[in-house]
Every structure is written in structure tokens, then in C-alpha cells.
With several copies, the nearest count.
Chain A
Amino acid sequence: MTSQDVDPSFAPLMAQFFREQSPPERVSAAEQRDLDESLWAQVTEMGLPLIGVDEALGGSGGTIGELLVVLAAAGRACAPVPLAETAAASWALARTGARVSGDLLTVVPGDPRDTLTVTDGVANGVVHDVPWARVATCAVTVLTTDHGPVLVAIPLESASVRTGYDLARQPKDRVSIDAVRVGVSPWPGASDELMARLTLLRGALMAGALEEVADLTRQYVGERVQFGRPVGRFQAVQEHVVRLEQQATLALLAVNRAAAATEVNPSALEVKLMKLITNEGARLAVRAAHQAHGAIGMTQEYRLQLLTRRLNSWLGEVGTSADLAEAIGAAATEHGIARLITSSAGTMEQA
């Protein structure tokens, strides 16, 4: 079951919720704090981060399709809460059979500088760029051991966190772990399935933000008058509007196709294809939207920057274009491009 099968009334409902509860002023205010606790309380009360996790394990039930609808709506509204991270980490814990709590969780995204090791249930090392670590109770990651992949759950109260920020001033912290006892459970899948899940959820946030950027820009150029007519009548501005619509459309379609593929194979190559398409779409869209907006888009008073700063952050995290292009290229050189793109969802082999 994918987003295609979600009850049609759910998306408008979620869109309205986030539009109302995460207005631009609230997003801007949250940037000066670590977390909008009140909004987080609302979304956890509604069980949103636990959609896609079995009710028997404490989850909210529901499908990945529904979860993606929530994230796209959250992305549109730049909701300043760790929905994707908590949802991915909770899903991972549930996959190992653990009950989920609704706590604020996060995922170690993986960085070449990371030095994490786990021996006999005790972890040491440093992990980088962990989103929301300072306010999370636990960070999870999948490590490969001699006995296969394991899910490691690091209690963050025992770790030392150095604060950092992404371009939207969302927490992205360095976590130092010094002889901390961690949870270790056998991971019942391929080691990259957790990253694939997080990537998919990030992609949905980005697709939502891209749609909002396209809508906002189209509305702006229809209203802004220069030289006696709406700027949207100028061919050069039309080019920007078309570019934005294209990239928003490609991104959302890619997210939904990747979601369908993960139903067949949880670490399907389509997740990488989706993130690369969405990264490149974000890059083009940020440029086009700002160019169409002129100087007003550069001010914090206007909400375009809430969206473009997030897109600029997300395109450099949880799968960069360079890494993704390399991995996809390896598969393409092995299987050929035509065969790869015409194969059915979830059946492509990674090289």
C-alpha cells in the first residue's frame, strides 16, 4: 500500500493542520530555540511520528503512504519538529520487535568522520551531524558486525552533545560517546534499510517544501507588478515558474514511486534515485524561486527563505548528490540505463 491508496481526505486534513499550527511566525520563533515543544506535543499526541509502526508495538498503525502525506504537509509548512527522525528511529526499533514509546528519537545519519564502535554492548566514538540530538532521548544506527547487522540504540543522556546547526538553524549536533552502554538488537534486514527509510522521509519533506515554493512563487509573480504588469507575464519569469512546477512534480512523483518500491525491497535503488532527483530539484528550485522573487525573497520577513534554507540544508544531508550519483552510476554501468529504468518497482539490483 502506498500513498496512492491513502484516504483522499487525509492529505487536506494534514495540510490544514500544519498550515494552522506551523505558521511562518512560529517557524521563525522556533529557530531561536532548540525545539517547539508545544508543536511537538501536538504531533506526538496525534501519534503522527508513529504512523507506519504496528499498533501492537505501541505505534499508530497506518501505512508508509500516510506517513509520507504527513511529512509532505510538514515540509510545506517547515514544521520545526523532528518528525522524520523520530518516525524512522521508531520504525527501526519496532522492526527489531521493541515497543516504541513516542519519545523524541533520532538517527545517526553516517558521516566519513564518524568513529563509533560497539564492543560487548558498550559504545565509544564520535558521530557527526546528528539531527536534533540535543533534545532526543536516543539515537539509533545500524552497524555491521561479524554476526550480521545490528541496530544500536544510544541513550543520549549519557553522551556529550556539541551543538551545531543546519542552514535553517535546525539542530545538527556532534555526539561524543565515551563508554556508554547501548542497546544492541539483531537487525532483520539489509544494513542500509534504516538509511533508506530516513531518506524516504526526508524526500517527502523536501517534496512538500518544493510544492510550497512553487505555489508561493506562482502566487507572488501573479501579484507583483513591475513595469505596469504582473511580473509573471514576462517570459524570463515564466521560465522560473515552469522550472519550479517541474521540479515539485518530479520530486513528489519520485517520493511516491520510491515508497512503492520499498514495499517490495526496503532498500530499493529507487530511494537513491528519488533523493538525487529531489536534491537536484531543490538546487534548481531555490535559484529559480529567489530570482523570480527579487530582493523581497532575501528577507527574513518573507517566508520564502524558511523553505529555501531548509531545502538547501536537506539537499546536503542524508544522501548527497555526489554519493548518490556514484552509486546509481555503478548500477547503470552494470545493468544498462534502459533496463534499469524500465524495470518494475523494487526489482533493480544495486551494483
Chain B
Amino acid sequence: MHLDATDLSESEIRLQQEVREFLAERLPPGSYDVGLGMTGASDPQFSRDLGARGWLGMSLPPEYGGGGRTAVERLVVVEELLAVGAPVAYHWIGDRQSGPNIAANGTEEQKRALLPGIASGELSFSIGMSEPDSGSDLASLRTRAERVPGGWRVNGTKIWTTGAAQATHILALFRTSDDRHHGLTQFIVERDLDGLTVSPIPFIDGTREFCELAFEDVFIPDEMVLGEVGAGWGQNTAELALERGGVDRWMSLMAVLDHWARGGWGPLGAAATADAGQITARCWAFRGVSLAIARMVDSGKSPSIEAALAKEMATRFEQDCVEIVTRHYGRTPDLTSDDPYESLLARAILVSPSWSIRGGTVEILRNIVSKGLAQA
């Protein structure tokens, strides 16, 4: 596997500078809930402000309100947001994956109806994928959409759907026939449909973003099928594949790391400085990987194996970082502390096990990579 070294162009550096200036002004320290990467706070106004700047839906086509910009440009924006733990949850899924998926597979009507709202930060998407008996094994999904006149009737349960309570839309994968892989179809589900009940499942840190979705005879009209009926497995796989190489896979703890490294909890001793050096080197390496993958996407390639390779090590690394910083913190941090970074470290200890599960467990990713390598 080979990744070409690449660096930011002058225009990309200008964009980076603009984002930094915007964030310094828009999110001065103490003015917002610092978050853990992509699970930062949900702040619709902040999302709309980003949209107004043209920093959401950046790679979506301009004719649907998108920016028509590159994957690298999106990376430049995203890494600045994650570096400060910005409140990105409201727009995150729509910007990262639902938007590009709809742009690639949606009908003209769907694109016109949804992409402008994603790019402006008005719409919030959530993913309805896992079920109680299907975690990693999506082919065993059972929530069924049955044909009825003019559309589909859905019954079943989706779980572990992050952000569904706040979302305007859910991009869901339902079974439309018994064929394990070819019997799955993606649907765009409006969040307030009759028969759809969203119940929070309290998460390990006490937050309530993780939801269960109960579908009881929910009617979904034909025009909300995304892509081909029966093509959901492939669309879903493609949706997951490329996003695995993003900076969000290794930047979850960045706001805490920086606070610690810069002496926010006091100057670092020799051992802590060396650990900060090791962490910095790996962040530097992963940033090079994410940037190289984004360039490949911009040049029309599909670096899905590369992305899986990156995510497998990046999520383990993030977890290592939590352990290292906690060791240097010197005591168990308090989730209820007045110090936002202590509280954030406490939250990271609790939620970090999920980092190597979401978006494909490390075991699944290793399987993808070894199969990819065997075919190479």
C-alpha cells in the first residue's frame, strides 16, 4: 500500500487561516461546551453559521447549495473544528456521509429537497442501521419495509442511533426481501413520521444521544427510497468505506490533548513530555494519512482499503491516548468537575471504548484490510 506525500496548497492554507480566525472569534474559550471530536455538543445555530460560511456540504454540487469544493478543503475545515472540540453534532452525519450519499444515489427531487438544507446546516441526519441482533453483521438485519400502494410499510427496531432525538432525518437501512445482501434498501426517513418512536438509551456517560427507534406500521412513500431497491448493502458499505480515513477517527481527544500538552494542568515532567512527543508523532503520521486519502478521493480514486487500515490503528491510538493522559492527570477525573477539561477527560475515559466499535470494529476492519491485501 502506498500513500503519496502531500501538503496543503496556498489556497488551502488560506482556508485554514480563515477557519482559525472564525473559530477564535466565534468560539472563544469558555463560551461553548468543548466536545470529544465528532461527538461534540449539538448547536444548530453554530451549524447554521458554518453553513453560511460555506463550510458544510463543501463537496456537494453547487447546483444543490453545495460548495463544489474538494475533500482536502473539507478536511482543512474539519480538523480545525475538531481541534477545539467545536459543537459539531447537529450537522456531523449529514455533512460527512448522508449528504454525499444522497448526492451520489439520490433522485433529482431528493437532491433538491435535502442537499441545500444539509449545506446550510438546517437539516440534521442520523443513521438507522444497527438492530438488537445485528451489530457488525448487517446482513442479518430484520427490520422490514413491505411494499404497500404508493410506498412501504416499516416495522421493527433500530438501536444505537446516535442523535436521532434531535435529527430532522434518519437515513435507514431496511430489509425489502429475504436475500441476505441484495434484500436491503436505504430509505430517507423523516424524523416525525407517524408510528416512529424515538427513545433515548442512556449512554455510559449518562448522556442521551444514543437512541432506539421503534417503527410501527410507519408509511414511507416511494420517493424516499434512496438509490435502487435492493442496493442498500452496497450503498451503505460505500458510505462507510471512505469516511473511515477521516481526521475524526483520531482527533476525538485533541482538545484535551492540547490542554494537557500546553500545560493547562501544570507543566509536564520529563516522562509526560516524552509521552506528548510520542503522541504528537502519531498524530502527525495520521494527519499525513488522512490528507493523502483525501487527495486520493479528489483525484477520483476509492481508497477504501487505505481508509480501513487507517481507522483500525487510529481508534486504538485514541484509546491509548486516554490512558496516557489519565495516568499523567494523576487521579480519577470527575465528570461533574468545574474544570471543563477534567470533565471532558472523565467523559473520554467512559466513552472511549466506543471509538473502536463505531464505524466498524477493529476486528471487521482487519478483515477488510486482509482481504484487500490478499487481492492486491
Contact = CB atoms under 8 A, between A and B. Distances in A.
Q: Do A and B bind each other?
A: yes
A39 B87 CA distance: 41
Contacts of A242: 309, 312, 365-366, 369-370, 373
A245 interface: yes
A316 B204 CA distance: 18
B214 interface: no
A295 interface: yes
A337 B279 contact: yes
Contacts of B365: 242
Name B's interface SS. Answer: helix
Contacts of A2: 5
Nearest to A261: B7
Contacts of A15: none
Contacts of A245: 1, 309, 369, 373
A265 B10 CA distance: 18
Interface in A140-183: 164-167, 169, 172
A225 interface: yes
B229 to A, nearest CB: 25
A172 B342 CA distance: 15
Given A298-B203, A298-B353, A337-B283, A249 B3 contact: yes
B287 A299 contact: no
B327 interface: yes
B86 interface: no
B341 to A, nearest CB: 14
A165 B353 contact: no
A309 B274 contact: no
A345 interface: yes
B257 A337 contact: yes
Contacts of B275: 325, 329
A336 B334 contact: no
A197 interface: no
A257 B204 contact: no
Contacts of B130: 295
Given A226-B137, A328-B277, A341-B280, A298 B257 contact: no
Interface stretch (B52-60, B102-110, B344-352): B344-352
Contacts of B336: 164-165
Interface stretch (A47-55, A78-86, A229-237): A229-237
A111 B258 contact: no
Interface in B280-329: 280-285, 287-289, 292, 306, 309, 312-313, 319, 323, 326-329
A166 to B, nearest CB: 6
Contacts of A328: 276-278, 280-281
Contacts of A238: 366-367, 369-370
Interface string B340-376: 0000001001110110111001110111011001100
Given A254-B288, A256-B4, A300 B354 contact: no
Interface residues of A, number: 86
A5 to B, nearest CB: 11
A164 B83 CA distance: 28
B80 to A, nearest CB: 8
B285 A253 contact: yes
A326 interface: yes
A277 interface: yes
Contact of A329 (B258, B268, B362): B268
Contacts of A234: 363
B273 A250 contact: no
A301 B276 contact: no
A287 B320 CA distance: 10
A344 B71 CA distance: 18
Contact of B284 (A316, A320, A340): A340
A260 B267 CA distance: 33
Name A's interface SS. Answer: helix
B202 A325 contact: no
B288 to A, nearest CB: 5
B203 A299 contact: yes
Interface string A83-99: 00000000000000000
Given A246-B313, A298-B203, A3 B370 contact: no
Interface string B1-28: 1111111100001001000000000000
A327 B334 CA distance: 26
Contacts of B262: 333, 336
Contact of A294 (B273, B306, B357): B357
A4 B326 contact: no
B79 interface: yes
B332 A316 contact: yes
Given A225-B133, A298-B354, A337-B283, A246 B309 contact: yes
B238 to A, nearest CB: 21
Contacts of A237: 363
Contact of B319 (A287, A320, A337, A344): A287
Interface of B: 1-8, 13, 16, 79-80, 83, 130, 133-137, 140, 159-160, 201-204, 206, 210, 254, 257-258, 261-263, 267-268, 270, 272-285, 287-289, 292, 306, 309, 312-313, 319, 323, 326-337, 346, 349-351, 353-354, 356-358, 361-363, 365-367, 369-370, 373-374
Interface of A: 2-4, 111-112, 129, 164-167, 169, 172, 218, 222, 225-227, 232, 234-239, 241-242, 245-246, 248-250, 252-254, 256-257, 259-260, 270, 273, 276-277, 280, 283, 286-287, 290-291, 294-301, 305, 308-309, 312-317, 320-322, 324-333, 336-338, 340-342, 344-345
10 contacts: A253-B292, A277-B285, A316-B333, A317-B332, A320-B327, A325-B274, A326-B270, A329-B280, A332-B277, A338-B257
**Which 6 pairs from chain A and chain B are nearest by CB?**
A329-B277, A290-B353, A316-B332, A325-B277, A328-B277, A256-B5
